[in-house]
Amino acid sequence: MKEFEMINRYLAIDSGNRKDVIKGVGDDCALLKVPRGQRLAVSMDTLIADVHFIADSNAADIAHKAVAVNLSDLAACGAEPAWITLSISMPEFNEEWLASFNKGLKRIVEFFGIQIIGGDTCRGPLSITIQAHGFVPEAVFNTRSGAQVGELVCVTGPLGDAALGLMAAKNELVVPPSIASQLLKKYYTPYPRIAAGIALRGRATSGIDISDGLLADVSHISGQSEVGVLLNWEDIPLSDAAKSIDDEEIVMKAALSGGDDYELCFTVRESELEATRLALETVGTECFPVGRVTGKAGVRLMYNKEELELEHMGYQHF
């Protein structure tokens, strides 16, 4: 068997038989069915070795993360994932690496009940491109542009763990091994908030997934909704692992600008907060109000009773 046929075999996982896949892997095109009353939500991300992931990390984790980050964009819009295409460029044929990649891919594809419907392989520097497709009812598509002054800004979970985990992996942060492994788990194998995104349909007035850090991502809501956001540092949720780190500056930087957390950030009317909290609770997700939508443009942060103008200081300060 030729190398690339072997590679294709490792990537083309038979992930069940979704009824909406008329023709999946193996033909020139996939042929797909979008359910009646639903719209197709599509998102694509490329992950490049040593830019978006550590090249020599576990191949199963690389596969997991490549799928997870794409599904996270669907979660941000409240879409339910259905299919992915996968294109991979790799420097050499390495069956052991592919077998491990296959394991991680199979695990996350099965976890979310999605199907791989096609892809491509070529020789080159290691990089993975995935396009994710999901369904969303037309009327409840979450965008970045619906936030209104007075609403609450909320997140779905602790922030900063992934960035702290990456620092620990690079030996830039010294923490006990048990803490490092908890943090790194968030970095290597995030689980996108799909169920939370669906639970927020019709409740959140705007939404985004936190891939580049809370400040950067909330600034997209602020910019596209043409409103301001005032965050409160004391309300930003931190995991016990993050809280165990003494250096507040490092933890703050990770939680506010670290990225890779793949939690959701959304806005909601204050009168909807309790209903939203309950809706999220039913899918095992918490709801943390971390700030408020304001009429004053830009993203600001309450820290030690002081209002910091982040735009002027630059996010890199954190």
Which residues lie near Mg ion (CB under 5 A)?
73, 209, 211
Nearest alpha-carbon partner for 134 in 220, 13, 18: 18
Nearer to Mg ion, 12 or 74 (CB): 74
293's enclosing H/E stretch is strand 288-294
What is the DSSP code (8-state) at residue 49?
B
Rounded to a whole number of angstroms, the minimum distance from the CB of residue 212 to Mg ion is: 8
Query: Contact, 229 vs 221, CB < 8 A?
Result: yes
Nearer to Mg ion, 24 or 192 (CB): 192
Cα separation, 161 vs 110, in Å, equals 25
Nearer to Mg ion, 79 or 241 (CB): 79
Rounded to a whole number of angstroms, the minimum distance from the CB of residue 310 to Mg ion is: 20
Rounded to a whole number of angstroms, the minimum distance from the CB of residue 225 to Mg ion is: 16
Rounded to a whole number of angstroms, the minimum distance from the CB of residue 163 to Mg ion is: 16
> What would the two tokens of residue 121 be?
């392989």
Rounded to a whole number of angstroms, the minimum distance from the CB of residue 73 to Mg ion is: 4
Nearer to Mg ion, 73 or 151 (CB): 73
Nearest alpha-carbon partner for 153 in 235, 224, 77, 275: 235
> What would the two tokens of residue 186 be?
């968030």
Nearer to Mg ion, 42 or 273 (CB): 42
Nearest alpha-carbon partner for 132 in 75, 177, 70, 61: 70
Rounded to a whole number of angstroms, the minimum distance from the CB of residue 102 to Mg ion is: 26
CA angle 125, 126, 130 (to 5 degrees): 125
What DSSP string runs through 14-53? -----TTEEE-TTSSS-EE-PPTTEEEEEEEEEEEBTTTB
Q: Helix and strand tally (H, E) in the chain?
A: 11, 13
Nearer to Mg ion, 68 or 179 (CB): 68
